[in-house]
Chain A
Amino acid sequence: MRTTAVDYWHWLLVIEMFLGGIAGACFFAGALADLASKGKYRKLAKIGSYCVLPLVVVTLIFLLLDLPPSRRFYFWHFMMIFKPLSSMNQGVWLLSLFTLIGGVIVPAIYLAEDKGILPFLKGKEGLRKALSIIGIILSVGVMGYSGVILADKAVPLWSTSLFLPATWIAVSVVSGIALIRLILALSAEKDKEADSMLAKALKLALIVAAVAIAIFLFTSGDAASVLISGSYAILFWLGVVVIGIVAPIVLDAAGKDMATVVSVLTLIGVFLYKWIILYGGQV
């Protein structure tokens, strides 16, 4: 237990980890759907990749706000060094490279197709596929690094188990699928078939996340008690388990057209999970 806890890291970091995770995950989910279906769900890859840059920009704004005012604009110090064994430095480079590929170049290829801008990129299918695969790999890094930043600390809840980054990637994937589904549900042209595919993928991702969280809790020893029965137990059981995992699966299984509600509930669950891990570690 940390004897003299000071909440240096707080809700701003939760927002950064949440949005950064979605940025990686929506590219991941969209590009995978497109590649696996051999282009049938290209639309999902477009939605996913268009989301990356705005999400990264918002994440960076929160990151700047999170730094002390006097040091805010020295953030480039992070980029003056390549330190592969510092998880925060890994994150800087993973996010930079991912944003360049998944947030700028790949969306530019789609924009060339949709809007006719940058026509020299139009029809570069080989390039698009190659970059999509690289982007998927980088996106996993982007989803994972903030979990590793927590996991390599001297904070029992974050570091006892080897599986915190695993849960981080798993819940981020959930949030990415949920965001694409939400955008699809809110867009003018409904696509029932794509939604049902996303619903299947979401259910699978939720099960993976639930298993990862269970393994994480089992391997955390006493440190997990703050989530299971301690001061964050209500948020965990009600917020993460019921609202974020069980309710979305049940509602989708009920067969009603609940894409919007399910997506929102899932996103709330993922946000709360990252929230209780950050704060629960500092009790």
Chain B
Amino acid sequence: MAYGLLIDTSRCTGCRGCQVACKAWNQLPAEKTEFTGSIENPPANSGETWLRVTYHEVSNGSGGVKWLFGQNRCMHCLEPSCAAVCAAGAIKKLDNGAIRIDQEVCIGCKNCHYACPFFGGVPRFREELSEDENDLIDKGLMGGKRVTGTVYKCWMCQDRIENGLETACATACSVRAIQFGEREELLAKAEERVATLQVVGETKAAVYNPKGVGGTGTIFILTDDPEAYGLPEDPQVSTANMVTKWLTGLITAGVLTIVPFWMVFKAAEAKGKGGK
């Protein structure tokens, strides 16, 4: 059964309970950050921060400002670019819907980071683990594998799912803005919620489940354009045109380079013969 997460931004209050719960459950260390002019903090996702609430100030259409709360996190794409490009075979789509990095297979090349079409690349690199993490690993208490010099991201709390629990973020959310469940059911719920939002005047309300990546395991309910939340309007699987790109390259090399090159040296051979 494929699970998913439904993020209802119309319910979110921006409390960051999910962000803290993610850190706490996954034993991720705090990051030293600076004030950057926004309460959004830390300013970017990293190997230590897999889920981050984002804050967007946009016009409310009548001269004022409204706040939109979004999230930066793994979208658990149905056609994941990260898994497609991984040359070590470390990233897999699990039967339960999660995209998981096998830290012991990953060699830290960061190919997946650049392939991901969301949030400037979701998988992020970790140079080293914290003392607390190493301590837990030594005691055999760490959920999942953890290896220095590899790439990390949300793993849909596999250790919780396997034990019949919801993800840490969904459990922590006090307003049910994050719901964990069967993906198809969540999609139906999302459509229903959007219909309600439309009725109460949220005319831009929509489900975000982009087709270009085959749909996502992390489904958003938005009340404004995707861009307003820092989401790409029409993300694509990054390897979609790979074969065409190879072909254009090979044609350039074949027709445009080999043929004239061949003629130059062929002429030389003919000339050489003529001279003899």
Contacts of B88 in A (CB 8 A): 77-78, 80-81
Whether A88 touches B109, Cβ cut-off 8 Å, given contacts A152-B238, A162-B244, A208-B252, is yes
> By the criterion CB–CB under 8 Å, are A37 and B268 in contact?
yes
Residue B160 is within 8 A (CB to CB) of chain A in the complex: no
Whether A148 touches B242, Cβ cut-off 8 Å, given contacts A8-B110, A154-B115, A155-B114, is yes
Q: Which of A18-54 contact B (CB under 8 A)?
A: 29, 32-33, 36-38, 40-41
Please measure, in the bound complex, the distance between the C-alpha atom of A106 and the C-alpha atom of B167, giving whole angstroms: 57
Binding-face segment, A67-75, A96-104, A124-132, A265-273? A67-75
Whether A70 touches B253, Cβ cut-off 8 Å, given contacts A152-B85, A152-B239, is no
Please measure, in the bound complex, the distance between the C-alpha atom of A6 and the C-alpha atom of B110, giving whole angstroms: 11
Whether A9 touches B114, Cβ cut-off 8 Å, given contacts A32-B258, A37-B265, A40-B269, is yes
Residue B251 is within 8 A (CB to CB) of chain A in the complex: yes
Binding-face segment, B18-26, B137-145, B146-154, B191-199? B146-154
> By the criterion CB–CB under 8 Å, are A83 and B89 in contact?
yes
Please measure, in the bound complex, the distance between the C-alpha atom of A165 and the C-alpha atom of B120, giving whole angstroms: 23
Contacts of A78 in B (CB 8 A): 87-88, 107
Residue B1 is within 8 A (CB to CB) of chain A in the complex: no
Whether A81 touches B89, Cβ cut-off 8 Å, given contacts A37-B266, A144-B246, A170-B256, is yes
Binding-face segment, B27-35, B121-129, B182-190? B121-129
> What band does the interface of chain A fall in when counting residues whose beta carbon is under 8 Å from B?
35 or more
Q: Which of B82-141 contact A (CB under 8 A)?
A: 84-90, 105-111, 113-117, 119-121, 124-125, 127
Please measure, in the bound complex, the distance between the C-alpha atom of A152 and the C-alpha atom of B238, giving whole angstroms: 5
Binding-face segment, A198-206, A222-230, A241-249, A255-263? A198-206
Chain A interface SS verdict (over half): helix
> By the criterion CB–CB under 8 Å, are A40 and B257 in contact?
no
Residue of A nearest to B250 (CB): A140
Residue B216 is within 8 A (CB to CB) of chain A in the complex: no
Name the one of A4, A36, A87, A200 contacting B242, with C-beta atoms under 8 angstroms: A87
Residue A166 is within 8 A (CB to CB) of chain B in the complex: yes
Please measure, in the bound complex, the distance between the C-alpha atom of A164 and the C-alpha atom of B246, giving whole angstroms: 9
Name the one of B108, B120, B265 contacting A32, with C-beta atoms under 8 angstroms: B265
Q: Which of A83-113 contact B (CB under 8 A)?
A: 83, 85-89, 91-92
> By the criterion CB–CB under 8 Å, are B125 and A8 in contact?
yes
Please measure, in the bound complex, the distance between the C-alpha atom of A75 and the C-alpha atom of B238, giving whole angstroms: 24
| Number of A-B residue pairs with CB-CB distance less than 8 Å in the complex they form | 205
Name the one of A40, A67, A159, A170 contacting B238, with C-beta atoms under 8 angstroms: A159
Whether A92 touches B121, Cβ cut-off 8 Å, given contacts A71-B106, A144-B246, A205-B261, is no
Please measure, in the bound complex, the distance between the C-alpha atom of A87 and the C-alpha atom of B238, giving whole angstroms: 11
Residue B264 is within 8 A (CB to CB) of chain A in the complex: yes
- Say how far A180's CB is from chain B's closest CB, in angstroms: 12
Contacts of A211 in B (CB 8 A): 256
Name the one of B44, B110, B242, B254 contacting A152, with C-beta atoms under 8 angstroms: B242
> By the criterion CB–CB under 8 Å, are A40 and B268 in contact?
yes
> By the criterion CB–CB under 8 Å, are A68 and B149 in contact?
yes
Name the one of A77, A87, A169, A197 contacting B252, with C-beta atoms under 8 angstroms: A169
Q: Which of B212-265 contact A (CB under 8 A)?
A: 230, 235-236, 238-239, 241-242, 244-246, 248-254, 256-258, 260-265
Contacts of B107 in A (CB 8 A): 67-68, 71, 74-75, 77-78
- Say how far B31's CB is from chain A's closest CB, in angstroms: 14
The 4 closest A-B pairs by CB, nearest first: A68-B149, A165-B249, A88-B87, A36-B265
